[in-house]
Amino acid sequence: MLQKKQSWRNTVEAFIPKFLLICALLSVFTTVGIILTLLFETAGFFEKVPFLDYITGTTWTALFSGDQQKFGVLPLISGTLLVTVGAAVVAVPIGLGSAIYLSEYAPERVRQIIKPILEILAGIPTIVYGFFAITLVTPFLRSFIPQLNFFNALSASIVVGIMIIPMIASLSEDAMRSVPKNIREAAYGLGATKLEVVLKIVVPAALSGIVSSFVLALSRAIGETMIVTIAAGSNPTFTFDPTSTIQTMTGFMVQAAMGDITYESLSYKAIYAVGMTLFLFTFVMNMLAQYISRRFKEEY
């Protein structure tokens, strides 16, 4: 009986590493498959649309027909950047301030109450955020900005910023709490105030984690779909006016996928071209986050 149990245990121990290897390879193959799909379909798109016209054009009418079709992606990029920058203006100071309070000022009991409540924001479906933007945020803003369009980049960016606050706050707070306590005590022993310890000791020591949280949160904002689709509209205009109706890259992909476009048509392939552009944006952001994390990482 004992030998059978030992044999079963050895079999399981031998199987587990192979199973984990399969899981890891499956993730790699899935990623490679996604990239190859984007590459092949995007290559088919650029066989018919000059690459230079795509990256420099300021008119996007991919869902029109005939000679009216224009594939200048700059309106979609400007809309995406407009929402992302607006979201950063909202989320970075609030998220970092929340993280500093939870890490350095809040009593443990208060922290245990506030942090889970803050992280509830991350669990709210994004479509709910979208309807929150058009039913509450936009009417509120229009009471101060009468010329604000009903669908606009401003309300979308504010709500996207609210959505990514928990990511910045949670990751930054974890990074600051990982700074050893004896470093803080040494600073206090030298006569530093609480604020000086936070700004000159803790934040610089946790800088790699804090900046990584910013970059990852902004990558999330770049790829946001439902909020911008509902609140920002679907008018691809090359503008940096936050009161205007815009369309982001993800917004176009949703609109095109739900439309009556023909499979393998130029409009269909435009979805993949925009998807590849979005992939490059987020890839660069993630590489930047990894570089910053390695560059400023502190070992304790």
In percent, how much of the chain has pLDDT > 70?
96
Across 112-116, average pLDDT: 84
- 198 membership: H or E segment, kind and range: none
Please write the tens of the pLDDT for every residue from 5-63: 667 777 778 788 888 889 989 989 998 998 898 898 898 889 888 889 899 888 888 88
Contacts of 89 (CB under 8 A, 6+ apart): 157, 161
Q: In 3-state terms, the chain is what percent helix, strand and coil (to 5)?
A: 75, 0, 25
Higher per-residue pLDDT: 2 or 43: 43
Q: What is the pLDDT of residue 129?
A: 92
Taking 90 as the threshold, does the pLDDT of residue 156 lie above it? yes
Residue labelled with tokens 């048509």:
265
Task: Please give the radius of gyration of the chain, using alpha carbons only, rounded to the nearest integer.
Answer: 24
Residue 271: φ, ψ to 5°: -60, -45
Structure tokens at 145: 């900005």
Q: Where residue 86 falls among pLDDT bands split at 50, 70, 90?
A: very high
Instruction: Indicate the range of 42-51, 63-72, 74-83 predicted with least confidence.
Output: 63-72
Structure tokens at 164: 């990514």
Q: What is the pLDDT of residue 95?
A: 92
Q: What is the pLDDT of residue 180?
A: 86
Cβ-contact 104, 198 below 8 angstroms? yes
Cβ-contact 210, 96 below 8 angstroms? yes
Structure tokens at 65: 């027909």
Q: What is the pLDDT of residue 235?
A: 87
- Best CA proximity match to 159, nearest among 178, 134, 193, 185: 134
pTM value surpassing 0.85? yes
What are residue 60's DSSP bridge partners? 71
Q: What is the pLDDT of residue 5?
A: 65
Higher per-residue pLDDT: 98 or 260: 98
Q: Which 3 state secondary structure label does DSSP give 71?
A: strand
Please write the tens of the pLDDT for every residue from 209-264: 888 888 889 988 998 888 998 998 888 888 888 888 899 999 888 888 876 777 77
Q: Helix 266-296 to helix 2-46 angle, to the nearest 10 degrees?
A: 120
- Best CA proximity match to 55, nearest among 46, 65, 47: 46
- Output the average pLDDT for the chain: 86
CA quadruple 274, 280, 286, 292: dihedral, nearest 10: -140
DSSP one-letter code for 60: B
Give the span between the Cα atoms of 75 and 57, in whole angstroms: 8
Q: Which domains does the chain have, with CATH numbers?
A: 78-266 (1.10.3720.10)
Q: Which amino acid is at 232?
A: A
Q: Which 3 state secondary structure label does DSSP give 141?
A: helix
Please write the tens of the pLDDT for every residue from 267-281: 888 899 999 999 998
**DSSP assignment string, 209-252:** HHHHHHHHHHHHHHT--HHHHHHT-S-------TTS----HHHH
- 10 membership: H or E segment, kind and range: helix 2-46
Across 134-149, average pLDDT: 89
